[in-house]
Structure 1
Amino acid sequence: MSTTWELNDDDKYALLELLPRATSVAQLTIGRTYGGIRTVGFPELKSIPFDEADIKNKVKKVAAAVRAVAQKQEDPTTLDTAADVFETATSITKTRETWATVAEPAFKSLRTTLAGADAELTDKQEELLSEIEELAENITGDKDAQQKARSWAVTTIPKFIYIDEYPDLAGHQDIAAYIQRKSQSQLNDSDKNFEKLCKVAGLDPEGLQTLLGQNDHETRNQLVNRASAVVTAEIKRLWKDRALKIRFNLDAHHLDTIISDPTSTYDVEINLNERSRGFQWFFAFYIAFSADTDGGHAENAVILLDEPGLYLHAKSQSDLLRHFDVDFSNQILYSTHSPFMVPTHALDSVRTVNIAEGAGTTVTNDPTGDAKTLFPLQAALGYDLAQSLFIGPNNLIVEGVTDFWIMSAVSAYMIETNRTSLNPTLTMTPAGGAQKVSYMVALLTSESLNVLVLLDTERDSKATKAELLKSRLIREQNVVFVSEAFTPTPNEADIEDLLDPAIYESLVTESYSAELKGRTLSLNANIPRIARRIETGLSDLGIAFHKTRPTRLFLKKMASEPEKILSDQSLIQFETLFELINSRLDKQVSRGNKPFEV
């Protein structure tokens, strides 16, 4: 396994202290084999400059300078000999390491001889000697410096804490027994979890026992009441299922964690041990990780969780996700099969894990895999989509998911480039086909929401419009056809026709490259809609056409090279469509909830 790490400014400074030449290093790689051997690499580390011709030239100049100084001596033999030995030793340049190993003692010998002869070089000559001397020192010391840097890297990366079994937190604690086991260094897992509870709640078990011995029950009760208020406030913030109250109850040597529902009729108090398995898990998780990440051993750790929230129902799993986002500075990685643990607000953080017999286990941020792998993601998106239907007061219904993808991506690009985009208050919803648009319109208008419909221009869509108007579900001006973005207006048009036909064809050929290998896709120019032309052309080759494939590729290229996907003409047509939709929305909003009044 190999990982790549980015260095912050403090990391870079620490690295330079150990490896001064790492001025260009902003990343490092750390790997580990199954045998536990770690490897560290600095891919951006530049090699030490080593110019053989330049070195020989400087060596000759230094040797000549020494010989010139020798002529000023009564006995020049010593310095002449030293110059010859120096030049011979430092001219061996087979490899930088060989040269540096031989040159370093030669530098020391020459300096000793010069000092013994009370001879000095000029400043310029001394600078030349120092340059190649420093080069030799850097080369010979580089191996040790890199090793120190590698050791630093291994000790500096965050700890990884993997958790598959989550802590149990007992609702009944014997403080005296706990203190005794602690004095004997015999704490069990339950005791350690109790310590975490006390840390989060601000309780001191030893202090409580001391107060018990002094019969100071009032102070003890004040302390646990304050702790109860602290924990209750946090649980109310985190646990959205219902407002619960936490009370710590002292009974001599024992501390009980009592949970009650203050909104219930009788406000019955129940020990934590008797609460639902889901709440016990959530409470224990909150206590354990609050303690461990706030000055504890997991403060700067990367936390790896296996199936967190398994005992929680859907709404509480969403609360857990918010807990991850808001209350932890740690990086958290977790596995899940639950669609409610998929952060649909941050899909770029989602990875799918696939296991194949030939390829083994692969993890990717592309939404790929078999049905079992993708089901949680699909279900999460479907749930999020269903929830979003009633969030926005203004809604735009499109026929299919590919229409939704294209419109959303292009509108986002328009915002980035300061062009006309869809009104940001519009909630766009794919109906799943023209036949289902009427049901979606009926559903939304029943909630007194503003509804617009965008339809492809073809026979089924025109029938859909007629049905909507006949049922008086929507005003005629609230139905927009894609063809209205064109001048002149064509008889038929899909969302895909807003794209350059050649570009859309290239998306198809690339996304179907495996099926089209060695085959030619022929398109009938007499078919008015590009998607229909593609479908017919592929059908002639015995290939089924799915618009999602080129559209996925469209989304990918929109993220990396949108200017190559959207021609100037396409931008004009999308802007025309967006302006039309926005103006129809403005008229609808100005009328309020009276769709059929002028």
Structure 2
Amino acid sequence: MRLSRARVTNYRGIIDTGWFDVEKNKTIMVGPNEAGKTAVLQALQQINPPPDVPKFDALRDYPRSKYNDITTGRVDPKTVTVVEVEFELDDADRAAIPPTMHSVRYAFSRRLDNSARHNLLDAPPLPTFGSITKDLTRLCAHIDPRAEAKTPGGPSPSAELASITNEWTATTAIEGERATALKSWLDKSLPLVDEANDTEEKRFDSLVAAAAAYVDRATALKVLDGRKPVFVLFNNYFRVRPLIQLDHLAQRLSNSVLDDDQYDYGNVCLLKLLGFTAQELSDLGRTSPPAANNPTALQTYRDQLDKRTYQLNAASVQLTNEIRSVWRPREGRAEADKLRIQADGQYLKVVVEDELGVDIELHQRSEGFQWLVSFFVVFFAEAAGKHKNAILLLDEPGLSLHGLKQREFRSTLSRLSESNQTIYTTHSPFLVGPDELNLVRVVEMLDRIVGTKVHTTVTSGDPAALLPLQEALGYDLAQSLFTQERNLVLEGLTDYWYVDATAALLRAADVVNLNEKVALVPAASAGKVVYYATILYAQNFKVAALLDSDVAGDQAAQQETLVHTLGNKCILRTKDAYSGPVAKPEIEDLLRETLVNIAKESLAIDVTVDAAAQPARPIIDLLESTGSGFSKYKLAKAYIRWARDHSASDLTATERDQFKVLIEKINKALK
């Protein structure tokens, strides 16, 4: 199952974060120091923490300013919800629960006393006694005579039913013991139903379904509770020692006395990755070769040494490949470094072979390289254990890495999130991709009375909270402005998302292929398109601009500087690809029907009737007129999510044709 929404309340500096969405794979939390990012992750972990994680403690975890409410008894920890989440089910979850529950979502919460509550959202409502009374009466009228004929003078089914339901009212839900009692009565009554009577057979089946609804719900709750993922928080990245004395480590492990500096945890993970215990490697280091005249013992000894060598080599190759995906060689070097794990007597060594073939102990390499090695060791060691079916919560990963290494490590985080849903916090612009702004949640604390807030949209009252995003965009823009020979300048970020996401759908369906050498450059507004276009054109790059056909787009398209710089052929308008009745179409109008559905399903804004009745009215105008706080940003973000789970065939034929025309015009203008 996948975490879809979360909310934290009454935890340390957090009064109420508000509900915030969690992405399917990777979610990024940004915000200034003391905003509460770490606290959010710590609270989330308590949904289903690993066994060794400390639980909530009212003294330490309840907001200090309100702790007097606990000591005076005005607030009972049993009633204080700290963290609540909602999960969406995957195919494996649905296969494990009754079919009647396949459309549900699973909600779970943890309270300050560490008790838990769970529930099913969107589940079929439990039937009430009033909703089945008529069917029960008619069934009794059918089976009472048959029961009398079978056992004259015996208790009638209707009398037995009355003894079960005598205290029920029309609003009584059929659940718990009531559902069990009703189901038992139905089972007993089944032989009395005339199987040749289709009406009574169907009536009986519907009553059985009503009685079983609670059982299905209870079964689903029990199954889903056992399937919820473990929340694993990495806020201390344990280091692997470059030299491990095996006999000492084995002794400390057997006595459960580990180093206070937590290095032992990294060492234990390394051994787990290798498939050995410290004692096994230590014993191998002590063993002397048997006598040459004992071939069986000699073969056993050789097999043990070979097994150790092969497993050390396999682990070394795995770690080297992963590290090379991030820690690439500097220009001029023949190849990246190799990591090697070697056993020598009572010592296990982690060394790095450089391009000269020289072995260097791990601790002599940079802090960033040591961190990266330790991260992969810990992660891969735990992947077969508590990280399987786990949600990873990473607090400030990669702090020791250089900015460009962080940028490469971002792709590693993306790969990890494909199998383990990942939420991480960061201050670094290099860990936020320019195409990942829709994955960002802004965390801020403007007032300690109000506490920490988490925003699903990229908004904040604190400029410091948005700084990593501004830096990320600025860095990427600086790179893209002067590296791509072909550039399409768009009015804003939402236009960028629509073009990029739709082009990807059409490319995957082999409908049309947007030239991959074209860089999409979002300007801040239609009025600023001219500045971006002028700068790019001055570098002798090919430049085109895509403008909406609304008033702002018309004004920008008529700017003398823009016309002189690009020429009319390279000023593209949405109306050139649009085939509908809207007089001044924006880019959203090219996806009109799909966006109407997305607005209804994802934003709870239903303009289906109005859109059909007013086909010449721009879709954005329709949505804004609802007075529901509509945001173009939220709509574009919802479209990106939709595009990830759909294909070009899910667009209408008109939408596909319009975007095909648009992309062909872009390719032609920038050929």
Q: TM-score range by the shorter chain?
A: 0.5 to 0.7
CA distance in structure 1 between the partners assigned to 2:232 and 2:460 by the alignment: 28
Q: Match of 1:8, as an amino acid? A: D
CA distance in structure 1 between the partners assigned to 2:164 and 2:627 by the alignment: 63
Over the aligned positions, Cα root-mean-square deviation in angstroms equals: 5.2
Q: Which moves more between the two structures, 59-68 or 577-586?
A: 577-586
2:560 corresponds to which of 444, 449, 462: 462
Contact persistence 1:485–1:574 (CA under 8 A): no
CA distance in structure 1 between the partners assigned to 2:281 and 2:640 by the alignment: 60
Q: Match of 1:171, as an amino acid? A: P
Change (3 A) 1:513 1:356: farther
CA distance in structure 2 between the partners assigned to 1:241 and 1:442 by the alignment: 34
Aligned-pair distance for 1:507?
8.0
Kindly indicate whether residue 355 of structure 2 is the aligned counterpart of residue 273 of structure 1: no
CA distance in structure 2 between the partners assigned to 1:380 and 1:157 by the alignment: 34
2:230 corresponds to which of 152, 159, 166: 159
1:290 corresponds to which of 347, 357, 380: 380
| SS state at 1:51 partner | helix
Change (3 A) 1:318 1:203: farther
Aligned-pair distance for 1:58?
1.8
Which string of whole-angstrom CA distances, capped at 9 and with x for unpartnered residues, describes residues 48-68 of structure 1?
A: 474212211221332233344
More helix by share: 1
Change (3 A) 1:14 1:90: same
Alignment of 1:46-445 (within 5 A): 46-48=125-127, 50-69=131-150, 78-79=153-154, 82=156, 85-86=159-160, 89=163, 92=166, 94=169, 95=172, 135=207, 139=211, 146-147=217-218, 149-188=220-259, 189-201=262-274, 205-215=278-288, 219=305, 228-240=316-328, 242=330, 243-262=336-355, 269-293=359-383, 295-327=384-416, 329-357=419-447, 360-370=451-461, 371-390=463-482, 392-396=484-488, 398=489, 402=491, 405-406=494-495, 409=498, 425-430=517-522, 432=528, 434-435=530-531, 437-443=533-539, 445=540
Alignment of 1:5-16 (within 5 A): 5-16=87-98
Q: Match of 1:362, as an amino acid? A: K
CA distance in structure 1 between the partners assigned to 2:200 and 2:228 by the alignment: 41
2:119 corresponds to which of 41, 45, 55: 41
| SS state at 2:147 partner | helix
Which string of whole-angstrom CA distances, capped at 9 and with x for unpartnered residues, describes residues 465-484 of structure 1?
A: 65x5xxxxx8x687547699
Contact persistence 2:457–2:634 (CA under 8 A): no
Change (3 A) 1:351 1:105: closer
Identity of aligned residues (%): 25
Aligned-pair distance for 1:373?
1.8
Q: Match of 1:374, as an amino acid? A: L
Partner residue in 1 for 2:647: none
Which string of whole-angstrom CA distances, capped at 9 and with x for unpartnered residues, describes residues 341-369 of structure 1?
A: 11444443322223354764333332111
Which string of whole-angstrom CA distances, capped at 9 and with x for unpartnered residues, describes residues 228-268 of structure 1?
A: 455434432342255223234555422332224316xxx66
Which string of whole-angstrom CA distances, capped at 9 and with x for unpartnered residues, describes residues 526-564 of structure 1?
A: xxxxxxxxxxxxxxxxxxxxxxx98647746977999xx
Partner residue in 2 for 1:521: none
Partner residue in 1 for 2:670: 585
Contact persistence 2:575–2:585 (CA under 8 A): no
Contact persistence 1:412–1:421 (CA under 8 A): no
CA distance in structure 1 between the partners assigned to 2:454 and 2:359 by the alignment: 46
Which string of whole-angstrom CA distances, capped at 9 and with x for unpartnered residues, describes residues 427-480 of structure 1?
A: 23356553564333233x2xxx544467976799424665x5xxxxx8x68754
CA distance in structure 1 between the partners assigned to 2:317 and 2:185 by the alignment: 76
- RCO greater where, 1 or 2, for CA within 8 Å and sep 6 or more? 2
Change (3 A) 1:275 1:84: closer
Change (3 A) 1:106 1:384: closer
Change (3 A) 1:485 1:213: closer
Q: Which moves more between the two structures, 328-337 or 238-247?
A: 238-247
Aligned-pair distance for 1:286?
0.7
**Unmatched 5+ residue regions in structure 2?**
1-82, 290-300, 331-335, 548-553, 578-583, 591-614, 644-653
Alignment of 1:515-534 (within 5 A): none
Change (3 A) 1:42 1:578: closer
TM-score normalised by length of structure 1: 0.67
CA distance in structure 1 between the partners assigned to 2:322 and 2:195 by the alignment: 71
Aligned-pair distance for 1:298?
2.0
Which string of whole-angstrom CA distances, capped at 9 and with x for unpartnered residues, describes residues 55-99 of structure 1?
A: 1122133223334456xxxxx5x33x6578447547745346597
CA distance in structure 2 between the partners assigned to 1:560 and 1:290 by the alignment: 30
Partner residue in 1 for 2:84: 2
Change (3 A) 1:272 1:107: closer
Contact persistence 1:174–1:255 (CA under 8 A): yes
Aligned-pair distance for 1:227?
5.3
CA distance in structure 1 between the partners assigned to 2:465 and 2:627 by the alignment: 23
Change (3 A) 1:202 1:385: farther
Contact persistence 1:3–1:30 (CA under 8 A): yes
Change (3 A) 1:377 1:179: same
| SS state at 1:351 partner | strand
Q: Match of 1:194, as an amino acid? A: N
Contact persistence 1:478–1:584 (CA under 8 A): yes
CA distance in structure 1 between the partners assigned to 2:669 and 2:588 by the alignment: 22
Aligned-pair distance for 1:323?
1.8
CA distance in structure 1 between the partners assigned to 2:585 and 2:189 by the alignment: 84
Contact persistence 2:444–2:465 (CA under 8 A): yes
Q: Which moves more between the two structures, 161-170 or 233-242?
A: 233-242
Change (3 A) 1:9 1:253: same
Change (3 A) 1:124 1:182: same
CA distance in structure 1 between the partners assigned to 2:202 and 2:631 by the alignment: 63
CA distance in structure 1 between the partners assigned to 2:450 and 2:112 by the alignment: 18
Aligned-pair distance for 1:375?
1.7
Change (3 A) 1:56 1:277: same
Contact persistence 1:89–1:106 (CA under 8 A): no
Contact persistence 1:452–1:479 (CA under 8 A): yes
CA distance in structure 2 between the partners assigned to 1:100 and 1:234 by the alignment: 55
Aligned-pair distance for 1:174?
0.8
Aligned-pair distance for 1:150?
3.2
Which string of whole-angstrom CA distances, capped at 9 and with x for unpartnered residues, describes residues 386-432 of structure 1?
A: 33335544223x3xx63564376368658868999965542233565
CA distance in structure 2 between the partners assigned to 1:390 and 1:483 by the alignment: 26
Change (3 A) 1:150 1:127: same
Which string of whole-angstrom CA distances, capped at 9 and with x for unpartnered residues, describes residues 116-162 of structure 1?
A: xxxx88656999699769958974x8767755643443232111111
Partner residue in 2 for 1:489: none
CA distance in structure 2 between the partners assigned to 1:554 and 1:133 by the alignment: 44
